[in-house]
């Protein structure tokens, strides 16, 4: 019984950054307010929206909601940092303004973490993806690893922010979100957290990501700035990547795709050559080099 009381008393802050998308926000806020774990607050950070966000929140008439507004659009990383600064909870959960949590998410994660003892520090769970156009579930998260996940985190953003419940102190110690990023701030933070802490997986779908082709609204789907973000990510964690040759080789090969698409073909070629030198038995960088060379030759002939 004492463990249950302890979990019930743990305070949680739900941080919801929002930029416009007024019509979707109410669903996200309602899913946070409906949590079976009652000791929580919701911090909505309006990142300079043109929409009237505050009237949506006023309709809930719930004292657990805190509204903060940026006087201009500063980007999702800055909005998340503002939310962290305003948060009073021991734990922090992140929820995008167009997604939703299931009612037992917070209670289930806190309970699961307490039952596992001291080995694990950050819990995460499964989620699914709903296509709002077809109203069909189109995907479910597949990453299930527990303990140290650093190798996996260096290769991809294997755990989304919405899946985790993180002690505020952990985020502060890790340095918060890097506001230079446009869309990969979550991946950057995951790498820094995975250097320090071990993760516990709960095999239960406790949140839902909504897919609705909102390219302007959902920052993570804006591919035109991936080359910048992924270059920055690699530079920030260069020491870690250099310790893992094959992971570094694969990352550089993948990065070359975005760099080439952005028009920097010579830089992409240098990345591919570096990838080959690190892992000469991978086929994909050779194919990409040939593709870039063939396109250059075709343009020269024209």
Q: Domain segments of the chain: what residues?
A: 2-218, 244-301
pLDDT tens digits, 173-217: 999 999 999 989 999 999 999 999 999 999 999 999 998 765 444
Output the pLDDT for position 300. Answer: 42
Q: Is the pTM of this model over 0.85?
A: yes
Averages of pLDDT over runs of 10 residues in the chain (302 residues) are 57 97 94 97 97 96 97 96 98 97 97 92 97 92 97 98 98 97 96 98 97 54 76 98 97 93 89 96 93 59 42
- Residue 207 is predicted with a pLDDT of 98
Q: Does domain 2-218 sit in CATH 3.30.420.40?
A: no
Q: Where are the beta strands (DSSP E) in the chain?
A: 12-18, 40-46, 65-69, 91-94, 100-101, 122-131, 136-140, 166-167, 199-211
- As a whole number of angstroms, the distance between CA 131 and CA 252 comes to 32
In the sheet where 12-18 sits, what is the strand order?
Answer: 65-69, 40-46, 12-18, 91-94, 166-167
């Amino acid at each position: 019984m004492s463990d249950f009381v302890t979990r019930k008393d743990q305070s949680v802050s739900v941080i919801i950054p929002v930029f416009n998308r007024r019509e979707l926000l109410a669903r996200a806020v309602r899913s946070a307010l409906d949590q079976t774990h009652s000791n929580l607050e919701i911090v909505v950070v309006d990142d300079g929206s043109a929409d009237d966000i505050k009237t949506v929140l006023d309709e809930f008439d719930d004292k657990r909601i805190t509204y903060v507004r940026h006087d201009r659009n500063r980007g999702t990383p800055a909005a998340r940092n503002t939310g962290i600064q305003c948060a009073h909870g021991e734990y922090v959960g992140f929820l995008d303004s167009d997604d939703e949590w299931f009612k037992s998410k917070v209670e289930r994660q806190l309970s699961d973490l307490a039952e596992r003892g001291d080995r694990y520090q950050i819990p995460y769970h499964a989620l699914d993806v709903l296509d709002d156009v077809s109203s069909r579930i189109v995907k479910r998260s597949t990453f299930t690893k527990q303990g140290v996940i650093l190798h996996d985190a260096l290769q991809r953003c294997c755990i989304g922010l919405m899946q985790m419940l993180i002690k505020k102190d952990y985020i502060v110690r890790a340095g918060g979100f890097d506001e230079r990023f446009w869309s990969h701030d979550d991946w950057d933070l995951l790498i820094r957290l995975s250097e320090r802490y071990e993760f516990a997986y709960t095999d239960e779908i406790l949140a839902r990501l909504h897919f609705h082709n909102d390219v302007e609204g959902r920052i993570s789907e804006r591919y035109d700035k991936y080359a910048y973000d992924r270059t920055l990510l690699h530079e920030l964690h260069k020491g870690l990547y250099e310790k893992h040759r094959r992971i570094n080789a694969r990352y550089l090969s993948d990065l070359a795709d975005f760099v080439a698409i952005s028009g920097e073909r010579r830089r992409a070629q240098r990345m591919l050559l570096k990838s080959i030198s690190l892992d000469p038995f991978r086929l994909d960088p050779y194919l990409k080099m040939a593709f870039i060379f063939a396109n250059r030759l075709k343009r020269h002939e024209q």
